[in-house]
Structure 1
Amino acid sequence: MLVRFKQNIETNFSFLIGKKLLVACSGGLDSVVLTHLINQIDCEIALAHCNFSLRGKESDGDEMFVIGLAKSIEIPVFAETFDTKKYAEEHKISTQMAARDLRYNWFSEILKDFKYEYLLTAHHLDDDLETFFINLSRGTGLNGLIGIPKKNNKIVRPLLSFSRVEILQYAEQNNLKWREDSSNKKTDYLRNKLRLEVLPQFKETNEALLKNFQKTQQNMQASQNLIEDYMALVYNLVVTEDTDSYKINIQKIKELPHTSALLYELLNGFGFTEWEDISNLLDAQTGKQILSKTHRLLKNRNELLLTAIDLEIRNDEFLVSEKGISSPINLKIETSKYIGETEKNLIYVASEKLKFPLKLRKWRSGDSFQPFGMEGKKKLSKFFKDEKIALNEKKKIWLLLNDEKIVWVIGHRMDDRFKVNKNTKRILKITFWN
């Protein structure tokens, strides 16, 4: 496994070589094996362990084990104890979500303060398979079936191509010791139920399940990339954007193969269900329309005109106080002592650059901003195209503004002008959820 791991690093993760890396280590089998493997690569590593105080002495034992592991191979270790249940109660979220927030916020703090370049986690192929079934059971499109990304910003998962069996064999062959988490044996959570009861039966019926799953995921990823690239070309060819609507050129889209499938890709997500009727709309009389709960698709001469039924509501503007807003979306604003990892639903901004109340509204034609990390401005319409944001998603996007300047294209990118820097005296954490 070590040989394959080194080859995997050289082929897919060469950017890790020679870098300063932080390894998330619970003390369990997977993270212990990752620690031993990555320690044999040319890089500088340290361990980071979270004690969530959920299993009493067992949690404390895990912490002492990881500290001992780091000492035995002479590398630095960071360990932090959290009151996870209290955090969950205060933020009105599940214990699992609380542990995730605490974990990744703390990891981000270490990366920043101690100049580590990447965080490595020990997710492996079986984890990926479990995630596939979880997403499948909840209902998802192709994107949800592609699986756990090997790299997501600063988070890297170099064990994703290895199975749990391979990891266990490596640990046993090298006489490694690890800790067993008793909570992993409970079937209260869907992931554990899949891991302990469902997937073992699948594997018994098909010994090549994991190998075939890997091939299937690679094929799905290739298909998704192909669809996104092709639809970007189609969109530019057949769609025209107005301030309050989209126009689909009927003649141009009919000249393309698989017209019905293209209409589905363009309009899926707007609540339409009668796809045969939508295809028939191409040859219908002017004035014929199809309604969903949120949108209207109207045949208007040589175009299909897509508009939102709740247009009047969408064009309203809402004031946002220093604490946030709960309608039409939820925004929570709070003071933070440090900058954590910025995510799609979370940003950190400099308080002194804001003047409350802020403003919340949908994006409009002509809007522009300065994307985080860039020097110049960019029109939102160009930003959306570059980010391959689907047609149906654009109309759902909200903006947070300060004196008519965009602070955040919510759920996508913040504006560089409001970022935290060394002169910032007060940091604000802004969180979004529907």
Structure 2
Amino acid sequence: METLLGKFENYVAEHNICSHGDRILLAVSGGVDSMVMLSLFAQSGYRIGVAHCNFQLRGPEAEEDEQLVAECAEKLGVPHYNIRFDTLREMERTGESVQMAARRLRYDWFDSLCDEHGYTHIAIAHHGDDSVETFFINLLRGTGLRGLTGISVTNGRLIRPLLFSTRKEILDYALQKKIPFREDSSNASTKYLRNKIRLGIVPRIKEISPQFTETMTSNVERLTAAQGFIDRGMALLRQQVVLSRGDVHTIEVDRIDPMLPVQFVVYELLRGFHFNPEVINQLYHSFENEGQSTGKHFYSRDYAAYIDRRRIIVMPIPADDTCELEADAQTRRLSCGGNIIRFERLEVDDLDTLQQPDNVALIDESKLRYPLRVRRWRDGDSFVPFGMSGHKKVSDFLVDSKVSLPDKRRQFVVVSDGEIVWIVGRRVDERFRVGSATENVLRLTAEIDPA
């Protein structure tokens, strides 16, 4: 029977993942997957370095992970890089979830290490079970076919040389070869969606189909091939229906063959400009009902789109664009200029605490007048900061808060009947705060749009 080392070497060669002439930076957490990956690369004679991130979220456990990785790298005689992130502070600063903040921090650092030390690849220890779990996560999120293709073997500098293997194969190999590793206690928690799938759904399916991981790996490969076929077709369609002049792109919808799924084609074209699915659906609905679309703009992280007769015009968001959107009493989510604001309506008794992070605002809903407006702040805006009794100009508040010039431009406000309710991610207006007489609460949560 072929050993895991043999499978690894064959998989890397067959998929042309890397060569012995490359310099490869291994992302090693101390867990079994990455420690086995380190062992396989070392045994195969590749030129490697080891990078370890301590996100300072797990106390002594994280310290012990850091120590193990450093000791193993030193024993193997390979370069070792370590960094500690203040992840909680970064979450407060950006409004990101812990997973999003940690992902951005680590990949930015990996890229900087590659640039500084000449590494050509970054190796991540994702395996076949990870790809299956990603399939289910994206299925639940409604990401479409592209999200069901699992995890790619290569993506720019990133390589994933263990996708051929299962979690069980990796664990068995570590035990057989006496490879030291650390068990992350958070892997047993069902707080995160991935763990709910890993610990709850997948084991039950495997009771029915013991070869489920292998079967799903084959399914994902076929879905990936189908998506590749679609991508090639879309490249040809793009040449036929998109007219680009500088930064302005015009989608001539009537040039799309009506025998094709037109809404899907428009979705694929706009996805390239980072519009998320919800915004694309809203835009297409307005396109089909042209009377509703006059003067209406739709926003992604970097682009604005609007409808001009039977065309969709896409351009970079102008510096003076307020990105103004409306929210009524039924709105659940708005996406604007790289931000997502979620709307949740609660009774005050449902709140565990009134203490919330900066990216969450609790508002007394009885004091609001709909529709609310979400827009960029502008000169002349003022509000009554939480805990104060007098008005303060938003410009002065941002200066006092030491907000950088780029972040000032990206600052949004929530407005009710001309009055600012929330400086998004920073401060609630005193007049709309939750108080002793509050019964119904509107909870607003700001996040960075990952689209």
With normalisation by structure 2, the TM-score equals 0.60
| Residues 178 and 307 of structure 1, relative CA distance in 2, 3 Å threshold | same
Closer, same or farther: CA 274–189 of 1 in aligned 2, 3 Å: closer
Query: Given the alignment, which residue of 314, 330, 337 partners 1:330?
Result: 337
Post-superposition Cα deviations, 1:345-396, rounded to whole Å, max 9, x if no partner, equal xxxxxxxxxx99xx99xxxxxxxxxxxxxxxxxxxxxxxxxxxxxxxxxxxx
Does residue 66 in structure 1 map to residue 69 in structure 2?
yes
Contact 2:252–2:311 under 8 Å retained in 1: yes
Q: Does 1:271 align with 2:274?
A: no
Shift of 1:213: 0.9
- Mapped to 1, the partners of 2:316 and 2:54 lie a distance apart of 47
Residue in structure 1 matched with residue 38 of structure 2 by the alignment = 35
Measured after TM superposition, the shift of residue 103 of structure 1 is: 1.2
Shift of 1:126: 0.6
Q: Could you tell me whether the CA contact under 8 Å between 2:263 and 2:284 is conserved in 1?
A: no
Does 1:227 find its partner at 2:214? no
Whether 1:79 and 2:88 are equivalent positions in the alignment is no
TM-fit CA distance, 1:240? 6.7
> Which AA in structure 1 matches 2:113?
I
Match of 2:252 among 246, 251, 257: 246
Distance 2:226 2:93 in 1: 43
Taking the TM superposition and a 5 Å limit, the aligned residue runs for 1:49-198 are: 49-198=52-201
In 2, Cα distance between equivalents of 1:105 and 1:176 = 29
Tell me which of 296, 307, 310 is aligned to 2:311: 307
Aligned AA (2:337): N
CA contact (8 A) 1:241 1:247 kept: no
1:315 shift after superposition: 9.8
Change (3 A) 1:55 1:14: closer
Number of equivalences: 308
- CA distance in 1 between counterparts of 2:164 and 2:294 reads 43
The answer as to 2:13 corresponding to 1:10 is yes
- The answer (yes or no) to whether the contact 1:136–1:145 under 8 Å persists in 2 is yes
Q: CA deviation at 1:36?
A: 0.3
Cα deviation, residue 193, structure 1: 1.0
Who is 1:301 aligned against? none
* Conserved 8 A contact 2:17-2:159: no
For 2:37 and 2:224, locate their aligned partners in 1 and report how far apart those are by CA, in whole Å: 25
For 1:26-85, what per-residue CA distance to the aligned partner results, in whole angstroms no more than 9, with x for missing partners?
A: 100000000000112232111111111111111111111111111222222111122211
Question: Which whole-Å CA distance do the structure 2 matches of 1:314 and 1:16 have between them?
Answer: 41
**CA 1:89/1:307 → structure 2, altered by over 3 Å: closer, same or farther?**
same
Match of 2:18, SS state, is: helix
Contact 2:55 2:85 in 1 (8 A): yes
In 1, the alpha carbon distance for the partners of 2:32 and 2:207 equals 23
Summarize the Cα distance change of 1:214–1:68 in structure 2 as closer, same or farther, 3 Å threshold: same
Letter in 2 for 1:94: S
Aligned partner letter, 1:102: L
RMSD: 3.7
Superposed CA deviations along residues 107-131 of structure 1, whole A, max 9, x for unmatched, are 1221111111111110111111111
Instruction: For residue 229 of structure 1, report the CA deviation from its aligned partner.
Output: 2.1
For residues 186-237 of structure 1, the C-alpha deviation after alignment (integer angstroms, 9 at most, x for no partner) is 1111111111111111111101211111111111111112223234445555
Residues 222, 184 of structure 1: alpha-carbon distance in 2 compared, 3 angstrom cutoff: same
Query: Unpaired segments of 5 or more residues in structure 2?
Result: 268-276, 296-308, 326-335, 340-404, 411-447
1:214 to 2:217 alignment:
yes
Measure the CA separation in 1 of the matches of 2:196 and 2:57: 20
Query: Which 5+ residue runs of structure 1 have no aligned equivalent?
Result: 279-288, 297-304, 333-354, 361-430
**CA separation of 1:216 and 1:90: change in aligned 2, threshold 3 A:** same
Displacement of 1:291 in angstroms is: 4.4
For residues 240 and 158 of structure 1, do their structure 2 counterparts lie closer, same or farther at Cα, with a shift above 3 Å needed? closer
Aligned residue number for residue 319 of structure 2 = 318
What's the CA shift for 1:248? 2.5
Flag the 1:57–1:172 CA change in 2: closer, same or farther, 3 A: same
Once the two structures are TM-superposed, the CA of residue 272 in structure 1 deviates from its matched residue by 8.0
